Amino acid sequence: AAADKGGWSSFMAKEISEEPEAVANTILGRTRDGQVVIPELDGLDDLFAGIQRVIIVACGTAAYAGMVGKYAIEQWARVPVDVELAHEFRYRDPVIGADTLVVSISQSGETMDTLMAVKYARERGARTLSICNTQGATIPRESDAIVYTHAGPEVAVASTKAFVAQITALYLLGLHVGRVRGTVGATEAAQHVLELESIPDKIRRILSNEQERIEQFAHWMADTRSVLFLGRHVGYPIALEGALKLKELAYIHAEGFAAGELKHGPIALIEPGQPVFVIVPSPRESAELQKKVVSNIEEIRARGARVIAIAEEGDAAVLPYADEVLHIPLAGPLFEPLLAVVPLHIFAMGLSMAKGLDVDQPRNLAKSVTVE
Ligand code: G6P
């Protein structure tokens, strides 16, 4: 029964349409009187108060969710966070111990590399917390604590709705740990909770206002051979995710870059007609970063790039330079990734469909990789 497309053309189309619920259901039951309350983490306050560092381990899309989470957890809980690909982590004798919290992120809960990283961390005395979308899976069973994402079953091989649910869970965790450590006040936490609770409706707005237009672009771009993605701060992991999704679904060469790296190499790739998606930081979050990214757009545009900007509604600064602007609703500091990723998921799916590919079962990939 779970494997029913319910009238959608693909599981992926259905799962992207469920991104609002994936966020909403992950928040559900985890707030009270405007504050984050995570019943699963009862009794762990001493652990959260005492940790000296957090290491997030994951693979693929889940690792990009981890990179987004790093910004929020460091900001709110004032604890250093590293993000590592699970398969790299356990083969390099990492510095970990009882004061380390290793947070694994996995949709399936069965990814072998991530499971082995968790076991490795435990053997070395670290505490482990699993963010997982599958009840009773192996990784949560091997962990000290579990925060389930409630995205619902994800069938399409490439992950979409689980990604926004993972970011949501990391944000709830960051706020919770920040409250325990006294690094975020009740008033501030309440504002972030409100912001998080407003995200599902904002995703719905993107789906209803922009989905058709994005699919239209994808159609026009069906013979594109390479696409670049630029982002900065929390937009950087979103650029990586946009590129990964395009490789997975449309078999197109795609790369994501930190916008600040442009002048250190990637700008050499720009030639006339090169499509570049640019995730523009909110000017309200950081006018300085927004200006820098707008000047990146000018630089690549001057070299002939075709720029598709993802920018906040009302951000007029990008209009003169971008070929196309995809608007996302206003969101509070740090929350933009939950919105900016939605057009990129739609675009990758649209391009795959325009090329007549199997969007749910891309060649050579498996939903969960249970071998090392
Ligand atoms: C596979 C899937 C990806 C997913 C990755 C991690 O490669 O194709 O979509 O991001 O595994 O999966 P997990 O279940 O651990 O989140």
Residue located via tokens 């690549």: 300
* Element spanning 312, H or E: strand 306-312
Instruction: Classify residue 369 as exposed, middle or buried by CB count within 10 Å of its CB (0-12, 13-18, 19+).
Output: middle
CB 207 within 8 A of CB 339: no
Instruction: Classify residue 333 as exposed, middle or buried by CB count within 10 Å of its CB (0-12, 13-18, 19+).
Output: middle
Nearest-angstrom CA–CA distance, 187 and 275 = 43
On the question of pLDDT at 3 being above 80, the answer is no
If you take atom 5 of ligand 1, which residue's CA is the nearest one?
60
Looking at residue 4, its pLDDT comes to: 86
What is the distance in A from the centroid of ligand 1 to the CA of 86?
A: 12
DSSP class of residue 7? T
Q: Complex ipTM, two decimals?
A: 0.95
**At 359, which amino acid appears?**
V
Mean residue pLDDT across the chain: 95
Q: Transcribe 231-291 into DSSP letters.
A: E-TTHHHHHHHHHHHHHHHH--EEEEEEGGGGGGTGGGG--TT-EEEEEPPPTTT-HHHHH
Number of the ligand 1 atom closest to the C-alpha atom of 159 = 9
On the question of pLDDT at 142 being above 70, the answer is yes
**At 96, which amino acid appears?**
I
CB 115 within 8 A of CB 139: yes
Looking at residue 1, its pLDDT comes to: 43
Range of weakest confidence among 3-12, 54-63, 179-188: 3-12
pTM of this prediction?
0.97
CB 111 within 8 A of CB 370: yes
On the question of pLDDT at 369 being above 70, the answer is yes
Predicted confidence (pLDDT) per residue in 46-96, tens digit: 999 999 999 999 999 999 999 999 999 999 999 999 999 999 999 989 999
Q: Does residue 367 have an active-site annotation? A: yes
Which residues, judged by CB distance below 6 Å to any ligand atom, belong to the binding site of ligand 1?
59-62, 106-108, 111, 114, 157-159, 365, 367-369
